[in-house]
Every structure is written in structure tokens, then in C-alpha cells.
Structure 1
Amino acid sequence: MVELLPLSDIAPSAVEDILDAAFGADRFGRTAYRIRQGMDAVPALSFAAVEDGALVGTIQCWPVAHVDAVGAATPLVMVGPVAVRPDLQRTGHGRTLMAHMLEAAETEADSGLMMIGDPEYYGRFFGFTADATGAWDLPGPYEKRRLLARAVNGHGLPTGAGMIGPR
């Protein structure tokens, strides 16, 4: 039986270990890490999956913003990483974490959600699309089709040009 807990209940070293196992120790060079650099995860939207007392997965969300050409900032929440222990990937833990976060986001999110992810998966199962993100930019390399967003908790999404960065 998997128990979903606030990520703040988990030792930070255990979270880092699962992220290293899922994504490799070189993960810090990725564009997603540049966007959220220096930020703390959003406690109300970041969770851990624990099974038989062992950490098996995590999801983290981050306060970011879309800043347009005149400097107007629209808050967003960046979803990810979603990390599952490699020996348990494709067992539904990641999907369970995403569903739990989205349920919490319906009452706790202070803005729309964005992520870098597989549109076929995150669109099909969780309603994320690239419809609003076509003019958005990121501070590093990324595939345009993988920049996804979803309105949540009554918060819309910016649709114009802008850079995504820390809030």
C-alpha cells in the first residue's frame, strides 16, 4: 500500500537520492533546474510516495513566473520533477503522485501550472497542452512541443510571449 505524504516529511537527502537514481547526478544542468534555481518547492503541492516504509517516488512543484517584454510577471507553478525509483518505474507511482498533486492544486495552487514533459502522456492523462505556450521561452535548450501548461483552481494562463523564470 502506497502512502502519500507531504514532501516536507521526508529527509532532503532521501529526496536527492531518488532524484539521482531517476535522472542521474548530471540533472542539475537541465533547463528545468535553471528555471527553479534558488527556489524552494511549494509545500502544498509537493509529495512523496512511501511504500512499506521506503521512499518510492516524489513530485515537486515550484513558484515560477512568465515575464513579458514590458516586465509584467504572471505567476505560474512549475510541475516536476516527478521521480520514481528506477526499479518501480511504470508501476503507476508517478501517475498516482501527479493525480494527487492535481487534486491538491484544485484548491491550493495560486496560479496556473506549467511543465516540461511528454505531451502524449501528460496531455492524455492530466490535461496539459502546449496551446498557451507557443510564444513562451525558457533559459536554456528545450523542445517547444514539450513546454506544457494547464489552467487550475480558476487561474488562467498567459498566452503571449514571455520568459519563464523564478518567481
Structure 2
Amino acid sequence: MAIILPLLTQSPAAIEQLLDAAFGTDRHGRTAYTIRQGTTWLPTLSYAAVDADGTLLGTLQSWPVALCKEDGTAAPLVMVGPVAVLPALQRGGLGRTLMDRVVADARAMASDPLMMIGDPEYYERFWGFSAVATGEWGVPGPVERRRLLALSVDGRAIPTHGMLGPRQSVTA
């Protein structure tokens, strides 16, 4: 049985090694990486799954992104993913456990709406993610539109127009 811990408990090298094993070393060219470029994953919504010996089995990272409108305003979102599990353990429920945790914690803290690029049938069935609000979102790279998903965790409306990209920090 896996133990779920904050991702901060793991070394960056171990996280990168797991991501390479799960997705390949060419993963950095994917659109998801462009969307969150220049941001750092959110410690409060990012997790590690480890075994009793502390071996890293899986990770889930969440990222601060935004839907930017033409008038310069931006609607903050949380990008969920990648959900990574060691190849030998994939399809064993560990990714689902990590997703259960991020959605539960996001609901508990009434976070900004969640978004992800993923399998719509799977993520809608278990957590309610949908592509209904994302049809007019601009994306900085190729993506299957039906795989661009969003979920409101606190009843707030999901923004329907704008360009998806990294959330810019505000400085005084």
C-alpha cells in the first residue's frame, strides 16, 4: 500500500527520474509544458506516493496557470498533471489515488478551478472534469480539444474565453 506525502519530501532528481520513466525524456516538448512554462509546482496540491521503504512510486504535480483575456485580465486556474506512476505499477490504481487526493484537497481549500489535458471519459467519470467550458480556450500548442478539461471545485463558474498560459505573479 502506498503512502501519500507532500511532493516536497522528494528530491528533484527522483521526481525527474520518475517522470522520465513514465513519459519519456522527450516529454518537455508537449503543450502542457508550454502552458506552465516558468512556473513552479504548487506544494499544497502536489504529491508523492511512496512504499513503506520510501521508494518513490508515483507523483502528481499541480501548477499555477491562468486564462488570459484580451483586456489584460486573467482568471487563475490550477493545472493538474502530470500524474506519473512507475511503468510496472501503472493501471494498478495509484494514479487514481493521487487524483482522489488532489481533488479532495482542492475542494477542501476551495482552490481556483482545476484544469488538465487528459482522457475525458476517465476524468469525467471519476471526478467530474469536462470539456464543456474549454471549447473557446486558446492553447499555445497542439492539443485534442476534447482532452482539454476543467473542474470547478467550489461552484465558481469556469471561465470560457482566453489564452491558457502560466500564471504571472503580481509584484508591487
Q: Shorter-chain TM-score: which interval?
A: over 0.9
- 1:1-167 counterparts in 2 under 5 A? 1-52=1-52, 53-159=54-160, 161-167=161-167
For structure 1, the residue ranges without an aligned partner over 5 or more in a row are none
Residues 128-153 of structure 1: CA deviation (Å, up to 9, x unaligned): 00011010011001000000000013
Deviation at 1:51, TM superposition (A): 1.2
The residue that corresponds to 2:170 in the other structure is none
Contact residue 45 and residue 109 of structure 1 kept, 8 A: no
Aligned mates of 1:34, 1:14 — CA distance in 2: 22
Deviation at 1:154, TM superposition (A): 4.2
The residue type paired with residue 37 of structure 1 is Q
Aligned mates of 2:48, 2:141 — CA distance in 1: 28
| TM-score scaled by length of structure 1 | 0.96
Aligned mates of 1:153, 1:63 — CA distance in 2: 17
Contact residue 62 and residue 78 of structure 1 kept, 8 A: yes
Aligned mates of 1:24, 1:12 — CA distance in 2: 16
RMSD over aligned CA atoms reads 1.0
Secondary structure of the residue aligned to 2:3 is strand
Aligned mates of 1:46, 1:91 — CA distance in 2: 20
The residue type paired with residue 141 of structure 2 is G
| TM-score scaled by length of structure 2 | 0.93
Deviation at 1:116, TM superposition (A): 0.4
Deviation at 1:125, TM superposition (A): 1.0
For structure 2, the residue ranges without an aligned partner over 5 or more in a row are 168-172
The residue type paired with residue 17 of structure 2 is D
Secondary structure of the residue aligned to 1:25 is coil
Runs of 4+ in 1 over 4 A off after TM superposition: none
The residue type paired with residue 85 of structure 2 is V
Aligned mates of 1:30, 1:109 — CA distance in 2: 29
